[in-house]
Amino acid sequence: MISFFICLALLIGGYFTYGSLVDRTFGPDDRETPAVKINDGVDYMVLPQWKLFMIQLLNIAGLGPIFGALSGALWGPVVFLWITFGTIFAGAVHDYFSGMLSERNEGASISEISGIYLGGTMKNVMRVFSVVLLIMVGTVFAVGPAGLIQLLFSNGGSTGILTNKLFWLVLILVYYFIATFLSIDKIIGKIYPVFGICLIIMAVGVAVGIFTKGYVIPEIWNNFTNMHPQGTPIWSFMFITVACGAISGFHATQSPLMARCMKSEKQGHFVFYGAMVSEGIIALVWAAAGCAIYTGADLLAMGGGGSTTVYDVCSKTMGGVGIALAMLGVIACPITSGDTAFRSARLVLADWFHIEQKSIKGRLMLCIPVLGIGAILGVGNALGKIDYTIIWRYFSWTNQTLAMIVLWAASMYLFYEKKNYWITAVPATFMSAVSITYFMLGNECLGQFLNHKTADGAVVYNTAVAYPVGIIAAALFLGIFLYSIKKRDVKPQYETLGK
C-alpha cells in the first residue's frame, strides 16, 4: 500500500517538476495560435482551458487506462513502476510534443508533423497508417458498445428491436457521423467534459473502495517478480499491454484536435502533459485494484482486464453506484473514443488532400467515405460476415510503434531548434526496444515462428533471440538519429496547413 502512495506522489510531483522541465525546453511563447489565427468555426476555435483538459483526457483515455492497467496487474505490482515512470518520462512527453508540434504547425495532423521532421516517405507511411488505424479503432468502438447494450437489454428481459445488435450499431454510427461532421463545440465540447468527470469519479470511487472495503494493495518490494500465472515475460509484454496507461501512439492522433482549440501555447503543459499524468493516475488506481482484489489466476480466469472485470471491480468497491458507473464506463467511454477517432481520420485526410473543412461540402466529402467504410466493417461484423479480431490484435503493437515514431520526430524538432533532444530521444530509444522486442515475441507477429508450445500447451518464448534483437535495433535507431543530425545543418521545410 505504501508503494502505491509513493507512485501516486511521483506522478503528481512529475507533473510539476519534469513536466515543467519539458515545457521550458519546448519554450511556449505568446505567438498567435491556430485557434485564433484560423478560427474556421468547425475544427479551429478557442475553447476554455478546463474544457481543453477534459476533452483531451477523454480523447486519450476512454477505457484505455482501465483495460490496459487491469491486464497489466497480471504481472503483479511491478506494473506500478511502468505506469509511473512510463507516464512521466515517456507518455506525457509524447503527448505534450504531439500536441505542441501540431500547434506550432497550424494544427497539422501527426502524419504531416512526421513528414516535416522525418521526411516525405515517413509522412506518406504515417498518413496511410493513421487513417487505417483510426477507422479501425472507431469501428471497433462502435461494435463493442452495440454488443454490450444489446446484452444489457437481453439480460433485462427485453425483446424485439432493443435486443438487436445491428439496431444499436446503426444508432451509434449515426451519432458518429453527427459528431464527426459538426463543429467541435456542438457535441464533443458539451458531452466530453461530463463523461470525463464520470471517468475521474469512477477512479476515485474505486480507490476509496479499495481502502474502505478492506482490500490490501501489495507492495512492490515484497513482490518484485514476474507474477503472471502463465509466465508471460515482463519484457516487453507488460509494456505493450498497459499501453494507454503509460504511453500510447493513439494519443498523437488525438492531440491535434485540442491543438486547434488553444488560446495560448502556455496551456500546453496543463492540457497535454497534465491530461496524460491524470490518465496515469487513473491507470495506477485500476492496476492497484487488480492487484488487491484478485490473484493473477483469478484475473486471468475473468478474461484479464475486460468489461467483466471492470463490472466486478466497481461492484466490489462501490456497490450499486459502482455498477451504474461501470455500465456507463464500458459503454460511453468506447463511444467517446470512437467519435474522435473518426473525426481525426477526417482531419488527417483533409490535411493529406488539402480539402478545406469550413464548408459543409468539404466535410461531407470526407465524412461520407470515412463513416461509410466504418459502417461496412461494423455491419459486416454484426452480421457475422467480417471478422477483424485478428487485425485488432495488432493494435497494441502498432500503437506503441506509432508512439516511437512520434518521439523520434520530436527529437528531430528539438535538434533543429538547438534544444535538449535527449528528453525525447531516450524514451524513443526505449520504445524502439519495446516495439521491436514484442514484434519478435508476439504470437500475432514473428513470435508465431520463433516461439513453440510444450506438450501441455504452454508457450515457450524465444527470448534468447528476441531480447538481443530488440536491444540492437534500438541502438541502431539511436545511431541513425545521431548520425543524421550530424549531417543536417538546416531547418526542415515547414509544410503547414496554410500553404
Q: What is the pLDDT of residues 286-297, one digit of tens each?
A: 999 999 999 999
Q: Which of 32, 310, 328, 374 is nearest to 179 (CA)?
A: 374
pLDDT at residue 77 greater than cutoff 80? yes
Q: Which of 402, 416, 474, 370 is nearest to 251 (CA)?
A: 402
Cβ(330)–Cβ(307) below 8 Å: yes
CA dist 400 to 128, 247, 294, 418, Å?
17, 7, 27, 27
Read off the pLDDT of residues 351-371 as tens digits, 9 standing for 90 and up. 999 999 999 999 999 999 999
pLDDT at residue 390 greater than cutoff 90? no
Read off the pLDDT of residues 161-217 as tens digits, 9 standing for 90 and up. 888 888 989 999 999 999 999 999 988 888 888 888 888 888 999 999 999 999 999
Residue 496's pLDDT band (boundaries 50, 70, 90)? very low
Question: For residue 489, what pLDDT is reported?
Answer: 59
B/e letters for 195-226, b = 16+ CB within 10 Å, e = fewer, are: bbebbbebbebbbebbeeeebebbbbeeeeeb
Residue 388's pLDDT band (boundaries 50, 70, 90)? very low
pLDDT at residue 492 greater than cutoff 70? no
| Residues contacting 478, CB < 8 A, separation 6+ | 425, 428, 429, 432
Question: For residue 107, what pLDDT is reported?
Answer: 94
Q: Is 357 helix (H, G, I), strand (E, B) or coil?
A: coil
Q: How many residues does the chain have?
A: 499
B/e letters for 18-55, b = 16+ CB within 10 Å, e = fewer, are: bbeebbebbebeeeebbbeebbbebbbbbbebebbbbb
Domains (range + CATH), the chain: 2-396 (1.20.1740.10)
Cis check for the bond before 236: say yes or no (omega within 30 of 0): yes
pLDDT at residue 393 greater than cutoff 60? no
Q: How far apart (Å, rounded) are the C-alpha atoms in residues 403 and 89?
A: 13
Bridge partners of 452? 460
Read off the pLDDT of residues 298-317 as tens digits, 9 standing for 90 and up. 998 887 777 778 888 888 99
| Residues contacting 385, CB < 8 A, separation 6+ | none
Q: Which of 207, 69, 134 is nearest to 402 (CA)?
A: 134
Q: How far apart (Å, rounded) are the C-alpha atoms in residues 330 and 326?
A: 6
pLDDT at residue 442 greater than cutoff 60? yes
Report phi then psi at 460, rounded to 5: -105, 110
